[in-house]
Amino acid sequence: MEEPMEMPPGEESKVEISDAVSERDKVKFTVQTKSSLPHFTRPALSVVRQHEDFVWLHDTFSENDEYAGIIIPPAPSRPDFEASREKLQRLGEGNSTLTREEFAKMKQELEGEYLAIFKKTVAMHEVFLQRLAAHPVLRRDHNFYVFLEYDQDLSVRGKNRKELLGGFFRNIVKSADEALITGVSGLKEVDEFFEHERTFLLEYNTRVRDTCLKADRVMRAHKSLAEDYIPISVALSSLGTQEVCQLQMSFLKLAELFERLRKLEGRVASDEDLKLSDLFKYYMRDSQAAKDLLYRRLRALADYENANKALDRARMRNKEVKPAEAHQQLCCQRFEQLSASAKQELTDFKSRRISAFRKNLIELAELELKHAKASSLLLRNTLIVLKGDA
Amino acid sequence: MAAEREPPPLGEARQPELEELEDGEDLFTSTVSTLESSPLSPEPASLPTEDISINSNGPKPAEIILDDDREDLFAEATEEVSLDSPEREPILSPDPSPAITPVTPTTLVTPRMESKSVTAPVIFDRSREEIEEEANGDVFDIEINVSDPEKVGDGMNAYMAYRVTTKTSLSMFHKNEFSVKRRFSDFLGLHSKLATKYLHVGYIVPPAPEKSIVGMTKVKVGKEDSSSTEFVEKRRAALERYLQRTVKHPTLLQDPDLRQFLESSELPRAVNTQALSGAGILRMVNKAADAVNKMTIKMNESDAWFEEKQQQFENLDQQLRKLHASVEALVCHRKELSANTAAFAKSAAMLGNSEDHTALSRALSQLAEVEEKIDQLHQEQAFADFYVFSELLGDYIRLIAAVKGVLDHRMKCWQKWQDAQVTLQKKREAEAKLQLANKPDKLQQAKDEIKEWETKVQQGERDFEQISKTIRKEVGRFEKERVKDFKTVIIKYLESLVQTQQQLIKYWEAFLPEAKAIA
């Protein structure tokens, strides 16, 4: 889903999730790193990590003031097999209205779904790490090295209540401060670039959130449709075996057809999921991360303005001018650093976004075409056989 | 004027002959040539007159056909029955007509016998024309369309009027093309009349579409939303299919009630079809009673064919119901997919608007357009899912119920015959007793009663054989139609699916360069 940024020659870090195992509620990812960086003790590393470890890593980045001017790659979402597991359970609970054939097919369908979710969660976790590895600043982070190398369990405990509450309050403060971004505070944005970005990101984030939701619904409806073909195929099959000989072939052929159409529809659904739903979901999170960056910059700008005001006051009273000056310098520097970094990050964000959309939309169109052509061929062949029989 | 002749024992072996003869051109070349008509179409099932001639001669198929046997034929003819001679006695009342009406097939087959026929020459003339027409191969030259649903009246008394247009070259109709306005209860009335006349003698009368109080109330109340338009369209299509099936039936096509329905500008209002009317309630009671009776009739099925068919239709019914339910779920989900696709399209359009990179923005708008078109496709496909596939299954589930009904009538007929035999036995025993007791006056009465019941037993046997024969024929015809119907529908449905996929290919092929153009 992501193209890692260009790496300077001589610094090769390749990170991938080579394996994943689902145990009860937890998924254990095997993270492998190949790197020529001097930091690592060995050129090839392999560790086992859990989802919480990834979240911890993300949080250390987002809480680190040094990285305030960087769009922190969004953390992968928690692996969620709940829905799938529930469905499998319900199926297993002995639903007597299903024939053996139907049951077997539904089981196959659900198992496929489970596998697909599994693959997706692996991909999302991998992409997170790869983006970090590609970022010139983030990949030098100490915690990142620990994450990749420390061969013991990281023992990242889940956040305790105090931390969760803390996080909760931070979010409220952040939202209140979003007033800064939305311009309500009266803070003047002098840079046109950032003004534009602010307007754009606010709207974009909202829209992409909505599109993600709608794409998800389409995908799910497609899945239901594919699942509907199962009982139809089974019913046609039993009709075929019992029918008068003139109709036997028609029904059996039709049963076969629906079975194959089901698989094709299922693939359409999963492709839509991967190429559209996931794309939108990722950019929903990434644009949120970009918004967070803007917020931090504006926060820095506010601090800078406050420092200016403090300096003026100090000069007026001619008291403690030196510390005020120093403070103001600091704020100014920080703000300017942040702005420069943010500009670069936002430009990268745009090109990342464009290339990701381009890639996914092309792949989506190609896959849809592939499936439609396969379905069409299948249908036409069946028609030839049936018409010949009539 | 019944000539008393004992039918020679008829074994199973006869039946195939019967069928052969039906298929054989021989029968008609001989007769038709005497009627100076042109070369005939070898479509036996389509000739109602053939029905009459063969049916009414029950166990003696062989004799009917040959020219030489015309004498015999004629003599035999007085023996038996066929209900399907409506042109002889137009039956317009809803009461069950007498099961047996003497028919002389010879009037159709051998014009020279006309003077000896026991039926009115007028009818013969008409049948003759019909033979000619059918011989010319325009038997099913009748096309029915139901269109232009129109709301008449207001409030709870409102109803939908449908235009029924008939295009035909059959001469039994006064014109070649004509149309009338009918309402739903008129259709129900027609079915009711046909069912009353033909069901109990073994004809599979196509069932009328179902009533829907909820659906109709919405329409009456004037809700102009999509669900009531859908309801009206569903009903219109169902009425059309109902009429098309009914006219395809060679015997029903001859019925004067059907003709009146298609032709007359004014039709007496069928009041007995009102859901909650007295007659309606009576019908419900009768149906319940029938169900109870059916359970208690244990018939000695001497004919394996019927047992087999009973089982076959039972299985078919079950399977079709399952399939129907699954297809209905498919329709529902496809509609959902369509709605979700439309929502997604709108959302993608908005996303495209907010995207600040021009090429990407354009591509997203194009994506939105594609998805909108795909939504349209889904809607059309759902339409096909329903009207082509689902409704056919529904129709056949109801038709099979009619077949089962006919098989039940045969059982009742058998029961009646058995009951008559039992009564006859009792009467004979009573007479024997009276003989011993030496009561001459009561004896005569007893002898009379015996005579009466002997006749009834014979009648019962004949009725039973008649209905059995009719059913065999009907089932044969029904199965042929069914095979044809299903094959046609399957092909039509698959073609709709192909169409959808072809369109999808077009849309995505148009979109691909747009996606590639993002720079």
Return residue ranges of chain A for CATH 3.30.1520.10.
10-156
The pLDDT, as a whole number, for residue B284 is 66
- Write out pLDDT tens, residues B229-240: 888 899 999 999
pLDDT in tens, A159-171: 666 666 766 666 6
Check if B316 contacts A (Cβ < 8 Å).
yes
Which overall architecture, per CATH, does domain B296-518 show?
Up-down Bundle (1.20)
For the stretch A239-284, pLDDT in tens is: 988 887 788 888 999 999 999 999 999 999 989 998 999 999 999 9
In angstroms, the separation between the Cα of residue B482 and the nearest Cα of chain A is 9
Report d(CA A378, CA A385) in Å as an integer.
11
What confidence score (pLDDT) does residue A256 get? 93
Q: Does A207 contact B351 at a Cβ distance shorter than 8 Å?
A: yes
Q: Is B515 on the interface with A (CB under 8 A)?
A: yes
pLDDT above 60 for B122: no
The reported pLDDT for the residue numbered B474 is 93
**pLDDT attached to residue A37:** 73
The CA-to-CA distance between both ends of chain A, in Å, stands at 50
Burial environment of residue A43 by CB neighbours within 10 A (0 to 12, 13 to 18, 19 or more): exposed
Q: Tell me what the mean pLDDT of segment B252-270 comes to.
A: 86
pLDDT of A332: 92
- CB proximity B347 to A under 8 Å: yes
Q: Which DSSP state fits B81?
A: B
User: What pLDDT score does A181 carry?
Assistant: 55
Distance of alpha carbon B499 from alpha carbon A116, whole angstroms: 30
Q: Tens of pLDDT along B418-472?
A: 999 999 999 888 888 888 887 777 888 888 889 999 999 999 999 999 999 999 9
Q: Can you read off the two tokens belonging to residue B246?
A: 């009914």
Query: What average pLDDT does this structure show over B265-283?
Result: 64
Q: Quick one: average pLDDT of B482-492?
A: 92
CA distance A278 to A212: 8
| Residues within 8 A of A (CB atoms), B 366-385 only | 367
Q: If you average pLDDT over each of A3-12, A84-93, B281-290, which comes out highest?
A: A84-93
Task: Establish if A368 touches chain B: CB-CB under 8 angstroms.
Answer: yes
Q: Across the interface, which of A244, A354, A387 has its CB nearest the CB of B360? A: A354
A366 touches chain B (CB under 8 A): yes
For the residues B311-317, what does the mean pLDDT come to? 92
Greater confidence (B319 vs B91) lies with B319
Contact status of A346 with chain B (Cβ, < 8 Å)? no
Per-residue pLDDT averaged across B224-251, rounded?
Answer: 88
Q: Does A140 touch chain B (CB under 8 A)?
A: no
- Interface membership of A245 toward B (CB under 8 Å): no
pTM, entire model: 0.76
Nearest to A362 among B326, B353, B512 (CB): B512
Other residues' Cβ atoms within 10 Å of the Cβ of residue B9: 7
**Confidence check on the interface: ipTM exceeds 0.85, yes or no:** yes
Residues B123-142: tens digit of each pLDDT: 334 444 444 444 444 456 88
Residue B9 has pLDDT above 50, yes or no: no
Q: What is the pLDDT of residue B242?
A: 94
The Cα B99–Cα B467 span in angstroms is: 10
Domain covering B138-270: architecture: 2-Layer Sandwich (3.30)
pLDDT greater than 80 at residue B48: no
Domain(s) of CATH 3.30.1520.10: residues in chain B: 138-270
Closest-CA residue to A185 (of A198, A204, A196, A197) = A198
CA distance B491 to chain A (A): 7
Q: What is the three-class DSSP state of B120?
A: coil
- Helix, strand, coil distribution of chain A in percent, nearest 5: 75, 5, 20
Has domain A179-389 been given CATH number 3.30.70.270? Answer: no
Flag if A257 and B494 touch (Cβ within 8 Å): yes
Q: Give me the mean pLDDT over the B189-197 stretch.
A: 91
CB contact under 8 A, B518 and A354: yes
A45 touches A51 (CB < 8 A): no
Note the pLDDT of residue A290: 94
| Record: contact A231-B326, CB cut-off 8 A | yes
Helices (H), B156-273: 184-198, 213-221, 226-248, 250-253, 256-263
| Tokens at A387, concatenated | 């018409």
What is the rounded CA–CA span in Å between residue A8 and residue A12? 8
A8 has a pLDDT exceeding 60: no
Percent of chain A with pLDDT over 90: 45
- Nearest C-alpha of chain B: how many angstroms from A387? 7
The pLDDT score that the predictor gives to residue B267 is 78
Domain with CATH 1.20.1270.60 in chain B: 296-518
d(CA B86, CA B257): 10
Instruction: Please report, rounded to a whole number, the percentage of residues in chain A having pLDDT higher than 70.
Output: 87
Report CB contact under 8 Å: A386, B491: yes
Predicted pLDDT at B162: 93
Query: If you measure CA to CA, which chain A residue comes closest to B343?
Result: A214
A320 torsion bin: left (phi>0), alpha (psi -120 to 50), beta (else): left
> What is the average pLDDT across A325-345?
92
Tokens (6 digits) for A379: 């249908």
B311–chain A Cβ distance below 8 A for any pair: no
Paired strand residues for B164: B146, B180
Question: What is residue B282's predicted lDDT score, i.e. its pLDDT?
Answer: 62
Regarding predicted confidence, which is higher, B517 or B46? B517
Which among B337, B357, B491 is the nearest to A350, CB-wise? Answer: B357
Confirm or reject contact between B348 and chain A (CB < 8 A).
yes
CB proximity A225 to B under 8 Å: yes
| B397 at interface of A, judged by CB pairs closer than 8 A | no
For residue A4, the model assigns a pLDDT of 46
Average pLDDT, integer, range A197-209 = 93
Predicted confidence at residue A337, as pLDDT, reads: 92
Q: Is the pLDDT of residue A330 over 70?
A: yes
Which candidate, B86, B47, B128, B121, places its Cα nearest to that of B260?
Answer: B86
C-alpha torsion sign, points B392, B397, B400, B401: negative
Nearest CB neighbour to A208, from listed B334, B340, B351 = B351
How many angstroms separate the CA of residue A180 from the nearest CA in chain B? 21
Number of A:B CB contacts under 8 A?
159
Counting beta carbons within 10 angstroms of the beta carbon of residue B156, is it exposed (0 to 12), middle (13 to 18) or buried (19 or more)?
exposed
Task: Report the first-to-last Cα separation within chain B, whole angstroms.
Answer: 98
Report the percent of chain B where pLDDT is more than 90: 43
Inter-chain touch B330–A390, beta carbons under 8 Å = no
pLDDT score of B475 more than 50: yes
Question: What per-residue confidence (pLDDT) applies to B3?
Answer: 41
CATH of domain A10-156: 3.30.1520.10
Locate the chain A residue with the closest alpha carbon to B350.
Answer: A207
Contact: B487, A350; criterion CB under 8 Å: no
For A225, name the nearest residue in chain B, comparing CA atoms only. Answer: B333
Residue A156 clears pLDDT 80, i.e. is over it? no
pLDDT at A2: 46
Q: How far apart are CA B406 and CA B471, in angstroms?
A: 7
3-state class of A20 per DSSP? Answer: strand
Question: Which tokens hold the place of B97?
Answer: 């007509």
Q: Which residue on chain A is closest to B321 by alpha carbon?
A: A235
State the pLDDT at residue B477.
93
Give me the pLDDT at residue B371, please: 95
- Which is more confident, A373 or A108? A373
The residue of B312, B313, B319 whose CB has the most chain A CBs within 10 angstroms, and thus the best one to mutate to test that interface, is B319
Hey, is the C-beta of B495 within 8 angstroms of any chain A C-beta?
Answer: yes
User: Which of B350, B357, B505 has the CB atom closest to A369's CB atom?
Assistant: B505
- Delimit the CATH 1.20.1270.60 region(s) of chain A: 179-389
Most confident of A182-196, B6-20, B22-36, B391-405: B391-405
Q: Is the pLDDT of residue A60 over 80?
A: yes
Residue B430 near chain A (CB below 8 Å) = no
CB contact under 8 A, A250 and B486: yes
How far CA B170 is from CA of B88, B126, B136, B180, in Å, comes to 18, 11, 11, 18
Find chain A residues with C-beta within 8 A of B508's C-beta: 365, 368-369, 372
Which residues does B224 contact at the CB level (< 8 Å), separation at least 6? none
In this predicted model, which residue has the larger pLDDT, A22 or A294? A294
Confidence category of residue A173, pLDDT binned at 50, 70, 90: low
Cβ-Cβ contacts under 8 Å, A390 against chain B: 487, 491
